Structure 1
Amino acid sequence: MPSHLSADRPAAQPPGRGSVDALISQTRHLKGEVDAVRRDAQGDASHPEGRWQRALCDLALHQLSDLDAHLAQLRDGPPPVPTASETVSVPPSAPDAPRRDSLLSRVGSAEWNLLTDEASWSGELFQILGRDPTAPPLTLDELPSVVLDEDRPMLTAMVTDCLVDAKPIDGEFRVVRPDGEVRTVHMMGEPVLDADGSTASMWAVLRDVSELRRSQRAVSETRDSLQRHQHRAQTEHRLAVELQEAVLPPWRGSLRLPHQGPRALDLAAHYLPASTSTLIGGNWYDALELSDGETLLTVGDLTGHGPTVTSSMAMLLGALRGMAMAGTQPAQLMAWLNQLLDATVQPALGSAVCCRYRADTRTLLWAQAGHPAPLLYRGGTGRRLDAPDGVLLGATSGAIYGQTEETLEVGDLLLLHTDGLVPSGWGGATSVNRLLDLAPRFDEARTAQDCVRMVVEEFGETERQDDACVLLVRVAS
């Protein structure tokens, strides 16, 4: 095969073997480092971000393998082209198909003599196109016959520009092999000029890039899937936040009961989001003046996150308010909430504390469903109230809940919270003790809002797996 050089420029000197060996060594070292990154990136195959990361790592590894092979070809020089007699002596056999599990693509070369209309192909090009190596190579006029119909005009334009205007060829087209398989081929070539500057022949290097393009499509698809997943997560988060804000009292600032006596209760509440997730959970708190003059105080939590859980929380809190307004006592209220969760289309588990406070006697009647008991602070010390019986909401049908009564005094502080307030890794007893240790500071506070601020300072920056609510109630009169 004639040299792939234009006659009007001198031949470049081949690179030294030692420099190519150094490049090969560097490439293989980099492959090892990328492979280590790929192993570290293994994760949930169902998650778009994990698939995207692995696809990028696989693509980088395959491209480095491709570079390694091409550098080896550069070091070892072109393979010998068999003579006509040697080609005839080779028995016909099916060409090797490109490896399906690798992007190590085959690279072949060809030259078409415009003066004699002869074509010369390397052995690899026969394999790329699935051609019998004993058959004659295709001429430029015959080459479009193996190209997909929609790609033929592009190939014709590239070849015409090369032969007529001496423009380099650099483009891709799809070919159909004799077995019906479609492969993507990248072609680069230039015209070879004779002494008077006219085009004597055209040479080209053709590379099977089918697996490379497949991997690039996989990266693109997983990137698009990841973007859709992120957009959906952002939308769900926004919906959950808007629903929660519409249902719950303000997260910051004291909760006011306009018809309560002159500062009979001083209330403040706060919502603390999870630090490890952007998803909104089913936590709630509420304080509501009832028609009989009593006050409803409640906190609770539904398992799970997202709009579905938040909407279930809104439904449950609405039912709780309605039943409390109708005069339902805490134990019966817990039983009906349990029945409501048990009858929903999407079953869920929840925990709750429900209290009714009577201002004229300063009595607190309360019940709980698998929830941390309220903490009572008095005179600079704190204790956990003894909890009546109560299982998680939705855990079993027909559950019976107990209720108990506590008499409060002016200046008492009641703390209701969900179990995400103190990280679970600290342990149940330790969690309660951390909250009870705030008693001396609470005793010096002037308002419930000051107490909430102390809780946020203590636990707000803590790494938490779940969101949480805290409701502080001070008996003002």
Structure 2
Amino acid sequence: MSSHLSADRSSAQPPGRGSVDALISQARRLKGDVNAVRRDAQSDESDPQERWQRALCDLALHQLNDLDAHLGLLRDGPPSAPPAPETLPARETEPPPPARGSLLSRVGSAEWNLLTDEAGWSGELYQILGRDPAAPPLTLDELPSVVLDEDRPKLTSMVTDCLVDARPIDGEFRVLRPDGDVRTVHMMGEPVLGADGSTASMWAVLRDVSELRRSQRAVSETHDSLQRHRHRTQTERRIAVELQEAVLPPWRGSLRLPHQGPETLDLAAHYLPSSAGALIGGDWYDALELSDGETLLSVGDLTGHGVAVTSGMATLLGAVRGMAMAGTQPGQLMAWLNQLLDATVQPALGSAVCGRYRPETRTLVWAQAGHPAPLLYRGGTGRRLHAPAGVLLGATSGAVYEQAEEALEVGDLILLHTDGLVPGRWGSPRSSEAESGGGTEAVRRLLGLAPRFGGARTAQDCVRMVVEEFGEADRQDDACVLVARVTA
């Protein structure tokens, strides 16, 4: 079929081969760089952000592959017209399959002569539509037969606008190939005018953009998934924070618990969040004046993070308060707390230390379950109390927890803490008194504050010193600290 000039442009000279080769080299170098980033991004498939990043890399690679192929076509010039089917044996009319990964077969061209009702297709267009190259090309009237029903009006509108109003074609539609595969085709075309100025034919380039659109959908879907994940994470964190704030004592400075008039304990506590900020764990602190005049002191840590863990922490803390108010001693309280955690639907581990301070004798009776022992400061020095036997809560059924007693003096300071104060903490609460990494370092640094504690006026001053010492640390988990100072 003879060529025609476009209605709005004259034929242009192809660009110099050297300049196109340079562009191809640049595109391929960039493609290699993006592919390297794609390989580096291989990680946990469950992370929505990483899935979104890999989808973006895939989309960029598809676009760079298309660019590489189009530049190759630009450099090599338009393909020569294929010979008529009847001039070649049937076995020679089948075009060679494209190389694996090649995109050259995704771009085809066609021209429909309106005067003779003839059509001419490139071999690539036969491959895109999955049709036998020996078959005659489809006319404009026949072309909608391979288009999906819902996309036919779009194709009809584009072709009509091109032929009647001389508008360029630029749109997409989906075709159903004979093998049942649905492909997305992007079509760009122009009317070609005859010598008398009337539309003589329509010329078009059709590109298979199925993989490109698939990659774009993957980016969109993973982006939506990432947004939903972030929203869910933010919502869960807000609920966890609200639940935590609802159950932990809202102290704003020192809290004094009177017993029949005179003050016996000066109390202060603080919650230190993890460096990540989004991780809300199951750490708690508590102090409660009991009906018999004694004072409950406790800190603990339930493993994990999130709403479920914070809810579990609230349940344990409520149980501790209820049993302590009923007069349960620390050892028995730990045993029942272990039984409660062992009976929960979702298995969990926890650590805790719980004590009852008796003001009439200035005695601390306490028990622990796989938790750092309290620290005692007296006269400008500090030491760790010898811990009675006690395993992690939820670790085994029927565990027995021993009790210990410590005689205190006016001016003594007891510090209870959870084990996330410094980096290198245990991955879960400790199973023995043998501390590792962050636990040993935390105790060493806490004991090192003894001289400063000796000059402190209030328990709140001591807590402030702890926050100054540990508040900026790159902690992997949250932590709590509670200070009780004997005042009378």
5+ residue gaps, structure 2, are 426-436
The equivalent residue for 1:338 is 338
The question of 1:349 aligning with 2:362 is answered: no
Structure 1 residues 104 and 415: CA distance shift in structure 2, 3 A:
farther
Partner SS for 1:463: coil
Alpha-carbon distance in structure 1 between the residues aligned to 2:278 and 2:104? 42
Contact 2:5–2:192 at 8 Å: present in 1 too?
yes
Alpha-carbon distance in structure 2 between the residues aligned to 1:98 and 1:150? 31
How far did 1:142 drift?
A: 0.8
- 2:461 maps to amino acid: D
Deviations, residues 184-212 of structure 1 (Å, cap 9, x unaligned): 11000010112332211110000011111
Contact 2:48–2:226 at 8 Å: present in 1 too?
yes
The equivalent residue for 2:455 is 444
Contact 1:4–1:203 at 8 Å: present in 2 too?
no
The equivalent residue for 1:294 is 294
Alpha-carbon distance in structure 1 between the residues aligned to 2:455 and 2:98? 79
Deviations, residues 341-399 of structure 1 (Å, cap 9, x unaligned): 11111121000000100112111000000000001111111000000000000000000
The equivalent residue for 2:268 is 268
The equivalent residue for 2:366 is 366
- 2:317 maps to amino acid: L
Alpha-carbon distance in structure 2 between the residues aligned to 1:343 and 1:185? 60
- 2:107 maps to amino acid: V
Alpha-carbon distance in structure 2 between the residues aligned to 1:280 and 1:67? 47
The equivalent residue for 1:130 is 130
Deviations, residues 210-253 of structure 1 (Å, cap 9, x unaligned): 11111111111111111111111111111111111111102643
The equivalent residue for 1:422 is 422
Structure 1 residues 363 and 301: CA distance shift in structure 2, 3 A:
same
Partner SS for 1:170: strand
More displaced 10-residue stretch of structure 1: 249-258 or 206-215: 249-258
How far did 1:101 drift?
A: 7.0
Normalised to the residue count of structure 2, the TM-score between the two structures is: 0.94
- 1:51 maps to amino acid: R
Structure 1 residues 173 and 368: CA distance shift in structure 2, 3 A:
same
Contact 1:334–1:369 at 8 Å: present in 2 too?
yes
5+ residue gaps, structure 1, are none
- 1:207 maps to amino acid: R
Alpha-carbon distance in structure 2 between the residues aligned to 1:186 and 1:24? 23
The equivalent residue for 2:429 is none
Partner SS for 1:428: helix
Deviations, residues 11-49 of structure 1 (Å, cap 9, x unaligned): 222111011011001101111211222122222111211
The equivalent residue for 1:282 is 282
Alpha-carbon distance in structure 2 between the residues aligned to 1:87 and 1:420? 82
How far did 1:258 drift?
A: 5.3
Alpha-carbon distance in structure 1 between the residues aligned to 2:165 and 2:174? 24
How far did 1:72 drift?
A: 0.8
Superposed, which structure 2 residues align to 1:228-247 within 5 Å?
Answer: 228-247=228-247
Contact 2:372–2:418 at 8 Å: present in 1 too?
yes
Alpha-carbon distance in structure 1 between the residues aligned to 2:266 and 2:80? 93
The equivalent residue for 2:432 is none
More displaced 10-residue stretch of structure 1: 145-154 or 4-13: 4-13
Structure 1 residues 101 and 56: CA distance shift in structure 2, 3 A:
farther
Contact 2:93–2:134 at 8 Å: present in 1 too?
no
How far did 1:259 drift?
A: 5.1
How far did 1:88 drift?
A: 3.7
How far did 1:90 drift?
A: 3.5
The equivalent residue for 1:453 is 464
Partner SS for 2:257: coil
The equivalent residue for 1:431 is 442
- 2:160 maps to amino acid: T
Matched length = 477
Alpha-carbon distance in structure 2 between the residues aligned to 1:57 and 1:467? 36
Alpha-carbon distance in structure 2 between the residues aligned to 1:102 and 1:301? 58
Alpha-carbon distance in structure 2 between the residues aligned to 1:408 and 1:98? 87
Contact 2:420–2:438 at 8 Å: present in 1 too?
no
Q: Which of residues 470, 477, 481 in structure 2 aligns to 1:466?
A: 477
Alpha-carbon distance in structure 1 between the residues aligned to 2:321 and 2:102? 63
Partner SS for 2:73: helix
The equivalent residue for 1:206 is 206
How far did 1:432 drift?
A: 1.2
Alpha-carbon distance in structure 2 between the residues aligned to 1:463 and 1:168? 61
Structure 1 residues 361 and 218: CA distance shift in structure 2, 3 A:
same
The equivalent residue for 1:388 is 388
Structure 1 residues 372 and 5: CA distance shift in structure 2, 3 A:
farther
Alpha-carbon distance in structure 2 between the residues aligned to 1:344 and 1:400? 19
Contact 2:237–2:306 at 8 Å: present in 1 too?
yes
Partner SS for 2:377: strand
- 1:55 maps to amino acid: A
The equivalent residue for 1:15 is 15
Normalised to the residue count of structure 1, the TM-score between the two structures is: 0.96
The question of 1:89 aligning with 2:89 is answered: yes
Q: Sequence identity, in percent?
A: 82
Contact 2:300–2:351 at 8 Å: present in 1 too?
yes
The equivalent residue for 1:405 is 405
- 1:303 maps to amino acid: T
How far did 1:6 drift?
A: 1.2
Contact 1:98–1:106 at 8 Å: present in 2 too?
no
- 2:410 maps to amino acid: V
Contact 1:62–1:104 at 8 Å: present in 2 too?
no
